[in-house]
Amino acid sequence: MAGTEGSLLRQFPLFLPQNRAKTVYEGFISAQGKDFHLRIVLPEDLQVKNARLLCSWQLKAILNGYHQIVQQRMQHSADLMSFMMELKMILEVALRNRQELYALPPPPQFYSSLIEEIGTLGWDKLVSVDSCFSTIKLKAEDASGREHLITVKLKAKYPAESPDCFVDFPVPFSISWTPQGSLISIHSQFLAALESLKAFWDVMDEIDEKTWVLEPEKPTRSATARRIALGNNASINIEVDPRHPTMLPECCFLGADHVVKPLGIKLSRNIHLWDPENSLLQNLKDVLEIDFPARGILEKSDFTMDCGICYAYQLDGTIPDQVCGNPQCGQPFHQICLYEWLRGLLTSRQSFNIIFGECPYCSKPITLKMSGRKP
């Protein structure tokens, strides 16, 4: 016991017993060069798990969000010395995660220079700014009139330290920075990046406007993939290169074999017709020898995308991507739904990652090739 008390005094010289029974300790715990006041009241048996921890308002603020961990360590610590060491480790972590609580506020000229920068840039470019002037959101239009946002997070030593910038781009965006940099230079580099991606967004906007895009339902400016409906419960998934948006994209056909195989043959046969001077959509039409049906036309036809098993379109963020190969059926299914259905049939059989069975609708043979992810 005496050894433990000696260790406690050496490790925490500002934390001392307040009575002879040594059931009350009060003083300071030090972390990262700062002292924090606390008081611990132990029961008569000195069991730490039943102790009461009283913290100063400052220590409470730092440990906010760590209460459960502190209670857990209190329950499992063998003695007060062990708990104090655990508490110090938790405090060190909390301090590292909340350095901003103790950072000195920026000098007045920080705010005045920022306001001057915003004024020079134009207040119409400002979307929002937080109360600390540490997060600033700016907007800009590209040459096609699309509005884009950039979020700038300023660091304590701005402008000596480069700020962090966040944008909705399909490619990485980084700024060139010097201690003489400003919001004006950030916005200028942002505009240059927008100009370099204009052709990509023109291509994607044309696809979104003139075809029925199945996925993503609400594409962001960073999205490079589109799954486009072709009719006959078939679709094509394309992955566009943002740097070369009019070049042939990666293509993957989804649907019944009797529908998608001819399209694959046309793509191989006509690939020489691809002209980077034309729009991507026009090239796809020429190479595949089709007109992409608009959503309105397909919705009025017998085209359906609801799963034939769960009768839903969206299931856990996915849409039907398996189709019965029978030309008279062509019913789509979610992969997981078809997997569970076939797995429940006694007549189904599996070979590696392929399941053979019968279509739930027409009872004709259907094959499910499971993807790398488990359905």
Predicted pLDDT at 235: 86
Predicted pLDDT at 109: 87
Identity at 68, one-letter amino acid code: Q
- Selected residue with higher pLDDT from 297 and 112: 112
Sequence-distant (≥ 6) Cβ neighbours of residue 254 within 8 angstroms = 227, 234, 235, 236, 237, 260, 321, 323
Predicted pLDDT at 314: 77
Structural domains of the chain, ranges and CATH numbers in brackets:
1-102 (3.10.110), 108-196 (3.10.110.10), 211-288 (3.10.110.20), 304-374 (3.30.40.10)
Predicted pLDDT at 100: 56
Whole-angstrom distance, CA of residue 149 vs CA of residue 364 = 52
- Selected residue with higher pLDDT from 130 and 234: 130
Residue 375 binned pLDDT confidence (cut-offs 50, 70, 90) = very low
8 Å CB contact between 331 and 359: yes
Structure tokens belonging to residue 38: 């606390």
- Report the percent of the chain where pLDDT is more than 90: 54
Residue 1 predicted with pLDDT over 80:
no
pLDDT tens-digit readout, 296-345: 665 545 455 788 888 887 788 787 888 887 877 878 888 889 998 898 88
Predicted pLDDT at 374: 45
Whole-angstrom distance, CA of residue 291 vs CA of residue 349 = 39
Residue 116 predicted with pLDDT over 90:
yes
8 Å CB contact between 342 and 355: yes
Sequence-distant (≥ 6) Cβ neighbours of residue 328 within 8 angstroms = 362
- Selected residue with higher pLDDT from 369 and 138: 138
- Selected residue with higher pLDDT from 259 and 287: 287
pLDDT tens-digit readout, 235-272: 899 999 999 999 999 999 887 778 888 999 999 999 99
* Among candidate residues 328, 324, 319, the one with its CA nearest the CA of residue 360: 324
Strand partners, 236: 228, 253
